[in-house]
């Protein structure tokens, strides 16, 4: 190489890596040197030489010194010393790279000017290539110490900034608290060793260095985005200060907006490109929107807001069962959760957590059915506030609906709640009597006249059924009735409840029942409540008939009047639920009174007669003994029959009473317990029962704390729903046997379709759905009355 070219090369390369600025004379020499190199085609190699020199310098000296300085001080050290070491390492890094950065900028300007025939990416492109080399060598696989030191430093500066911001707010509000621990709340050092201001100055300098090196995003990118935003900010006692209660809204509190503004102030320090830019205007916000004007801070404000919503949703999801249970006091928490849930993708997390909470805390044998229904009603109210599309309610409450179907008393509890008979559950009664009820008859056809343009698809997490978003009801009664898929079950259960109530009260007062029937007619339709109207009419007719018969009897001579004052509840058997059938032989005096009443009824109602149920009803009597009289005792007919027999004979055995009454001995023994408790009868040796004419004071006080025979408390006069259903199923069984005898084998679906075709619904027959039919057939299979193979049912050969 000619001597002139060697000198020109040395001149150019020395100027590119020299930390000293160039003057006019030096610049003229450089121009001549570059022109000489360009004339011989050597200018294109300057760029490669500079980048290679940077790479060699980084590998041999800069990077090792950086990691060595970052690990200082070795052994145990204070956080303040580690922060100084971190800043010193990056300061030395910048100091060693500055000559190369200046050379790259100078070379890029020459390329832009085409000095000496140079061509290339220019200053911007060269700088990006250089920083790519720096990041590749320094941060390709950084040791854990970098992550630890950076996280520790930014966490501490965040704590210092939030502490100072909080103290400023407390000073303005006059609520400053005295620090009793003797430690600085920001840097956690003793007050006389506080280094908060030093930490903030170090943050500004480090932010400037990283910004200059274009490594801020790479350094911070070592951590997940949510930790970038807050850097262990949850250590700050934000949640404790705000006292998170479900009865108060959190998002509307001033503390949240203030906290977000304070975090933005810290972020303005982190992302400051120059130390001087950090000041009062760093977090300037738009007065209309409250958003920071700076584009970078706007982006981080969105990140913070989403992160806060995600944290809040996580916290409320854990408390969602309690929030639902405490509705409506928890409405503020539900509104906050709805706001945050719309901004995060956590619906599946909420659904999974809520279903798990229901299954573990509610759906087990230790919880009463009425409590399950109460929580389900609260869930309907709360979740329709949280999600108006009702998808969350549909999916999360599916286990509750499925479990309630397995409880035998579910229908009775719902009916009792509707009529206001259930203790502590008035929600359904209030829902039934509201001003704008949802008619179940027309609910299924609500979509028929809707505009197709208004149709909207269901969310992706909705259940795949035939219920669309518009047909998915939010009415509480409709949702409870839909548990079984048919309102006939509830109507039949209400008829049973109404019959029990009418037969127990015996005072012909039906004001409350008439109101309930009228309200239920608005829900279920008049045709379905026709039987209940007939039952109420029977009560009114019975009162009128009893009045007429008593008037007629009062006009008779005294010797012809009955010794027993008898009133009857006359019912139409075709319209009332099936009553319990028990055999009971009444004493002659009671039988004579019933015969006289029947004769007078036949005179009053021609071509009609009465068929008595002697075991049903109530008898009020006075028991006169030698030393006392027990007045106005209301007992059942069998109790009255027992004590009337003792009027004729003072001592009876169990066998004798069973014979004259026509009931089993075990039942007679249970019924005698009432008169034993009252001190009227006593049991003697040999199983004999005798009237106890006298009684001591001590025996009376002992009897006063004894329990009455619980067999009589709350007895139902009607057969249970399961008993009635079992009898009705036998009619289906007769049809099924006939079909299988003629057709030999049938599938479940065909059996069900033929039953629907040939078995008409009426007072004695109710429709059976596919699931119930399958359960009934499986029961017959277990009883060896049917054979099933690959879904096909047939009769055993011995029964055909």
When computed from its CA atoms, the radius of gyration of the chain, rounded to whole angstroms, is: 46
Which pLDDT band, with edges at 50, 70 and 90, does 324 fall under? very high
Choice between 759 and 663, residue whose per-residue pLDDT is larger:
663
Which pLDDT band, with edges at 50, 70 and 90, does 354 fall under? very high
- Lowest-confidence pick of 107-111, 227-231, 392-396, 485-489: 227-231
Task: Give dist(CA 277, CA 782) in Å, integer.
Answer: 85
The pLDDT of 437-463, averaged and rounded, is 53
The pLDDT of 689-700, averaged and rounded, is 71
Residue 713: predicted pLDDT = 44
Measured in degrees and rounded to the nearest 5, phi and psi for residue 561 equal: -75, 150
- Lowest-confidence pick of 99-113, 251-265, 283-297: 283-297
- Identify whether the C-beta of residue 773 lies closer than 8 Å to the C-beta of residue 748: yes
The pLDDT of 292-317, averaged and rounded, is 76
Residues in the chain: 800
pLDDT, the chain, mean: 76
Q: What is the 3-state secondary structure (H, E, C) of 216-239?
A: HHHHHCCCCHHHHHHCCHHHCCHH
Task: Give dist(CA 67, CA 139) in Å, integer.
Answer: 11
Residue 353: predicted pLDDT = 92
User: Is the pLDDT at 446 greater than 60, yes or no?
Assistant: no
Hey, how many other C-beta atoms are within 10 angstroms of the C-beta on 347? Answer: 18
User: Is the pLDDT at 717 greater than 80, yes or no?
Assistant: no
The pLDDT of 678-687, averaged and rounded, is 84
The pLDDT of 510-539, averaged and rounded, is 87
In terms of average pLDDT, the best of 187-201, 291-305, 751-765 is: 187-201
- Identify whether the C-beta of residue 746 lies closer than 8 Å to the C-beta of residue 792: yes
Choice between 647 and 170, residue whose per-residue pLDDT is larger:
647
The pLDDT of 480-499, averaged and rounded, is 83
Hey, how many other C-beta atoms are within 10 angstroms of the C-beta on 22? Answer: 14
DSSP 499-548: HHHHHHH-S---HHHHHHHHHHHHHH-TGGGHHHHHHHHHHHHHHHHHHH
User: Is the pLDDT at 634 greater than 50, yes or no?
Assistant: yes
Which pLDDT band, with edges at 50, 70 and 90, does 289 fall under? very low
User: Is the pLDDT at 743 greater than 60, yes or no?
Assistant: yes
Task: Give dist(CA 167, CA 451) in Å, integer.
Answer: 59
Task: Give dist(CA 487, CA 411) in Å, integer.
Answer: 10
User: Is the pLDDT at 552 greater than 70, yes or no?
Assistant: yes
Which pLDDT band, with edges at 50, 70 and 90, does 209 fall under? confident
Choice between 41 and 513, residue whose per-residue pLDDT is larger:
513
Choice between 454 and 536, residue whose per-residue pLDDT is larger:
536
Residue 182: predicted pLDDT = 73
Query: Percentage of residues in the chain with pLDDT exceeding 70?
Result: 75
Which pLDDT band, with edges at 50, 70 and 90, does 761 fall under? very low
Residue 687: predicted pLDDT = 79
| Pick from 475, 301, 340, 462: nearest CA to 395 | 462
Q: Is 787 helix (H, G, I), strand (E, B) or coil?
A: strand
Measured in degrees and rounded to the nearest 5, phi and psi for residue 515 equal: -60, -45
Number of C-alpha atoms within 13 angstroms, CB side, residue 718? 24
DSSP 126-185: HHHHHHHHHHHHHHSS--HHHHHHHHHHHHHHHHHHHHHHHHHHHHHHT------SSB-T
Residue 457: predicted pLDDT = 60
Helices and strands counted in the chain (H then E): 34, 8
- Lowest-confidence pick of 217-231, 403-417, 429-443, 733-747: 217-231
**DSSP β-bridge partners for residue 389:** none
Choice between 163 and 271, residue whose per-residue pLDDT is larger:
163
- Lowest-confidence pick of 533-542, 692-701, 733-742: 692-701
Choice between 419 and 181, residue whose per-residue pLDDT is larger:
419
Choice between 376 and 437, residue whose per-residue pLDDT is larger:
376
Angle between helical axes of 488-505 and 511-524 (0-180°, round to 10)? 170
Choice between 635 and 470, residue whose per-residue pLDDT is larger:
635
The pLDDT of 540-563, averaged and rounded, is 84
The pLDDT of 6-26, averaged and rounded, is 70
Measured in degrees and rounded to the nearest 5, phi and psi for residue 690 equal: -130, 150
Residue 356: predicted pLDDT = 92
User: Is the pLDDT at 705 greater than 50, yes or no?
Assistant: no
Task: Give dist(CA 768, CA 783) in Å, integer.
Answer: 20
Measured in degrees and rounded to the nearest 5, phi and psi for residue 368 equal: -70, 150
- Lowest-confidence pick of 179-183, 356-360, 741-745, 781-785: 179-183
Residue 221: predicted pLDDT = 46
Residue 456: predicted pLDDT = 58
User: Is the pLDDT at 3 greater than 70, yes or no?
Assistant: no
Query: What tokens does 704 get?
Result: 């006063």
Tell me the torsion sign for CA atoms 415, 419, 420, 421: negative
User: Is the pLDDT at 501 greater than 80, yes or no?
Assistant: yes
User: Is the pLDDT at 763 greater than 70, yes or no?
Assistant: no
Which pLDDT band, with edges at 50, 70 and 90, does 726 fall under? low
- Lowest-confidence pick of 42-56, 175-189, 264-278, 499-513: 264-278
Which pLDDT band, with edges at 50, 70 and 90, does 496 fall under? confident
Strands 688-691 and 745-747: unpaired
């Amino acid at each position: 190489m000619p001597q002139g070219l060697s000198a020109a090369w040395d001149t150019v390369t020395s100027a590119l890596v020299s930390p000293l600025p160039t003057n006019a004379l030096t610049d003229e020499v450089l121009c001549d040197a570059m022109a000489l190199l360009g004339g011989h085609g050597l200018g294109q190699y300057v760029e490669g030489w500079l980048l290679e020199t940077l790479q060699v310098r980084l590998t041999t000296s800069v990077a090792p010194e950086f990691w060595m300085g970052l690990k200082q001080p070795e052994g145990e050290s204070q956080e303040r010393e580690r922060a100084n070491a971190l800043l010193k390492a990056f300061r030395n890094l910048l100091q060693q790279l500055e000559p190369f950065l200046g050379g790259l900028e100078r070379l890029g300007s020459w390329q832009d000017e085409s000095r000496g025939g140079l061509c290339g990416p220019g200053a911007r492109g060269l700088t990006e290539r250089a920083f790519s080399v720096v990041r590749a060598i320094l941060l390709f696989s950084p040791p854990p110490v970098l992550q630890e030191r950076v996280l520790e430093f930014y966490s501490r500066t965040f704590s210092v900034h939030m502490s100072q911001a909080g103290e400023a707010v407390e000073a303005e509000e006059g609520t400053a608290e005295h620090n009793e621990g003797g430690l600085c709340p920001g840097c956690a050092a003793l007050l006389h060793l506080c280094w908060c201001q030093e930490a903030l100055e170090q943050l500004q300098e480090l932010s400037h260095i990283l910004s200059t090196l274009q490594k801020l995003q790479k350094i911070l990118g070592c951590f997940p985005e949510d930790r970038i935003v807050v850097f262990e900010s949850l250590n700050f006692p934000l949640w404790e200060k705000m006292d998170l209660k479900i009865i108060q809204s959190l998002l509307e509190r001033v503390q949240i907006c203030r906290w977000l503004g304070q975090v933005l102030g810290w972020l303005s320090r982190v992302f400051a490109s120059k130390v001087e830019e950090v000041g009062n205007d760093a977090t300037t916000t738009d007065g209309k929107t409250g958003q920071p004007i700076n584009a970078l801070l706007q982006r981080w404000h969105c990140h913070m807001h989403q992160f806060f919503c995600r944290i809040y949703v996580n916290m409320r999801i854990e408390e969602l069962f309690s929030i639902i249970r405490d509705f409506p006091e928890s409405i503020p928490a539900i509104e906050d959760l709805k706001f945050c849930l719309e901004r995060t993708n956590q619906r599946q997390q909420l659904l999974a957590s809520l279903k798990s909470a229901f299954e573990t805390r509610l759906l087990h044998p230790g919880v009463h059915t009425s409590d399950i229904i109460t929580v389900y009603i609260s869930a309907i109210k709360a979740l329709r506030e949280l999600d108006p599309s009702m998808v969350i309610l549909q999916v999360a409450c599916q286990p509750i609906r499925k479990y309630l179907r397995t409880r035998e008393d579910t229908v009775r509890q719902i009916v009792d709640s509707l009529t206001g008979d259930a203790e502590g559950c008035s929600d359904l009664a209030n829902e039934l009597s509201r001003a704008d009820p949802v008619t179940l008859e027309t609910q299924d056809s609500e979509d028929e006249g809707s505009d197709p343009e208004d149709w909207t698809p269901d969310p992706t997490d909705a259940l795949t059924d035939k219920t669309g978003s518009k047909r998915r009801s939010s009415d509480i009664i409709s949702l409870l009735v839909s548990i079984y898929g048919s309102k006939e079950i509830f109507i039949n259960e209400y008829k049973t409840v109404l019959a029990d109530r009418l037969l127990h009260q015996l005072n012909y007062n039906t004001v409350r029942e008439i109101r309930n029937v009228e309200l239920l007619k608005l829900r279920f339709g008049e045709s379905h409540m026709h039987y209940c109207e007939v039952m109420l009419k029977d009560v009114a007719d019975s009162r009128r008939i009893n009045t007429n018969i008593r008037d007629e009897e009062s006009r008779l001579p005294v010797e012809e009047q009955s010794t027993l004052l008898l009133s009857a509840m006359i019912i139409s058997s075709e319209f009332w639920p099936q009553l319990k059938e028990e055999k009971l032989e009444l004493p002659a005096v009671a039988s004579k009174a019933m015969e006289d009443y029947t004769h007078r009824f036949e005179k009053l109602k021609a071509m009609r007669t009465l068929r008595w149920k002697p075991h049903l009803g109530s008898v009020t009597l006075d028991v006169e003994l030698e030393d006392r009289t027990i007045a106005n005792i209301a007992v059942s007919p069998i109790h009255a029959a027992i004590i009337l027999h003792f009027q004729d004979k003072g001592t009876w055995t169990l066998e004798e009473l069973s014979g004259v009454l026509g009931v089993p001995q075990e039942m007679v023994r249970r019924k005698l317990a009432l008169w034993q408790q009252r001190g009227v009868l006593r049991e003697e040796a040999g199983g004999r029962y005798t009237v106890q004419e006298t009684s001591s004071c001590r025996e009376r006080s002992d009897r006063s704390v004894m329990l009455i025979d619980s067999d009589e408390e709350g007895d139902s006069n009607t057969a249970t729903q399961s008993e009635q259903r079992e009898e009705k199923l036998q009619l289906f069984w007769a049809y099924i046997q006939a079909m299988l005898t003629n057709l030999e084998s049938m599938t479940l679906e065909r059996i069900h379709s033929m039953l629907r075709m040939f078995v008409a619904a009426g007072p004695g027959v109710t429709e059976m759905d596919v699931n119930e039919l399958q359960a009934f057939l499986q029961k017959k299979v277990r009883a060896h009355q049917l054979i099933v193979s690959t879904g096909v049912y047939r009769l055993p050969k011995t029964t055909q």
